[in-house]
Structure 1
Amino acid sequence: MATPPLVTSRGFTVHPATHARFDDVRTMLGPKNPTSSVCWCLSHRIPGKDNRSLAGPERAAFVEALTRRPTKPGVLAYDGDEVVGWAAVAPRADLPFARSTKIPHVDDLPVWSVWCIRVRPGHRGRGIAHVLLDGAVAYALQRGAPAVEGYPVDNHGDKVDLTMAYVGTRKLFEDVGFQLAARTDATSAGFPRVVMRIGGAGGTPPSSR
């Protein structure tokens, strides 16, 4: 029996990035040339030394292994059967964010982090990022997260360079129910980053969703 989607909204569905969906993960994150060393959404998932040591197909293999774990590396958005978006979500304790000197810990809750949101070219401007973020929160809560955080830019409506837009904006997170939990010393694309949270201290309780 097929697993029901985490979220169905605006005509899109969101599912965990299981191993059976790895080809769709590859579509969202992988290069056209399989030997190229693109990010594969690893730069904020693993320590810098480990990230730099992985090249070309090794990066794909690493992410494929992540999809085999009980906790999946993110969620995928679909328009029918076509994959159109990706959001990375994981326990903050498992990420370099746990040791960041620029992004503060709001409290001692074992929060999860959403740090990368990507929508395929040709599908932007349709609200997919909102659905992805909603799905990432739903997955984290399903896996027992007491709260979920994101670290978007506080751009006050100004245009964000597309190459750095993956971090999201404060408004995007607010639209999905997150609240400002802390300011940070980090920047992206020239804008300050903030800690947005849903659930726990400094955020909307998950039960209110």
Structure 2
Amino acid sequence: MPIEVRAATVFDDVKQVLGPKRADANVCWCLSYRVPSKENRTLLGQDRGKRVQELCGEDPPPGVLAYDGDEVVGWAAVHPRAGTSFARNRKIPHVDDADVWSVWCIRVKPGHRGKGISHHLLAGAVDFARANGAPGIEGYPVDNQGQKVDLTMAYVGTRALFERAGFTKAADTDSILNGFPRVLMRRDLRSIRR
């Protein structure tokens, strides 16, 4: 069955990918770049999940989910850059004033990795941004030059993943993750190409 990517409107499905094993655990829930840092620091335990549940009810929802049949197998956070901390990030430059969207987290559930789902998620994030009127979309992956990236830090993606999805390098950044420099990758969505 082909992988299908849909808007993340079903909180229970988002929870399967991002939620903790223990309800009171302080996991990211992909909020670190999505909500203001002050709010992010005050959200603890179950309040983090409740905030994500609120975001799932907003228009647009906080990202996209990949499904293999009825099973949710992955997540990608995608939102207008203006509504993320990337709008104010000192280490990630703005290459222009376009109202681009950002994709900053790609996560595939254990047991489903190595099957190309991250490619589906990134393509779905692009389609989601385009469908919501974004003139462009950017990501901030590591430029690991083929070297192994620690699994806990792989959520930002790699330059090669973004290049295969039609993104091109728009700028260097001052951000380093897992010892690798991050680059700003951009894809224009005003054209019809997929």
Q: With the length of structure 1 as denominator, give the TM-score of the two structures.
A: 0.91
1:13-34 CA distances to partner (integer Å, 9 max, x unpaired)? Answer: 000001xx21110001111111
CA RMSD between the two structures? 1.1
1:178 and 2:167 are equivalent in the alignment: yes
Match of 1:11 in 2: 2
- Note the 1:52-91 alignment, pairs <5 A: 52-91=41-80
1:127-156 CA distances to partner (integer Å, 9 max, x unpaired)? Answer: 000000000010011000000000000000
Alpha-carbon distance change, 189 to 206 in structure 1, aligned in 2, over 3 angstroms = farther
Match of 1:207 in 2: 192
1:159 and 2:148 are equivalent in the alignment: yes
Match of 1:40 in 2: 29
Divergent runs of 4+, >4 A: none
- Note the 1:55-134 alignment, pairs <5 A: 55-134=44-123
Structure 1 contact 117–129 (Cα < 8 Å) conserved: yes
Classify the secondary structure of the residue corresponding to 2:118. Answer: helix
After TM superposition, give the deviation of residue 47 of structure 1 in Å. 2.0
CA distance in 2, matches of 1:179, 1:91: 19
Match of 1:5 in 2: none
Structure 1 contact 147–206 (Cα < 8 Å) conserved: no
Match of 2:128 in 1: 139
Structure 1 contact 41–88 (Cα < 8 Å) conserved: yes
Amino acid at match of 1:208: R
1:30 and 2:16 are equivalent in the alignment: no
Question: Percent of counterpart pairs with the same letter?
Answer: 62
Gaps of 5+ in 1: 1-9
Classify the secondary structure of the residue corresponding to 1:148. Answer: strand
CA distance in 1, matches of 2:103, 2:174: 18
Classify the secondary structure of the residue corresponding to 1:129. Answer: helix
CA distance in 1, matches of 2:18, 2:155: 12
Amino acid at match of 1:33: R
CA distance in 2, matches of 1:188, 1:156: 14
Q: With the length of structure 2 as denominator, give the TM-score of the two structures.
A: 0.97
More off after superposition, 96-105 vs 111-120 = 96-105
Q: How many residues align?
A: 194
CA distance in 1, matches of 2:36, 2:158: 25
Gaps of 5+ in 2: none
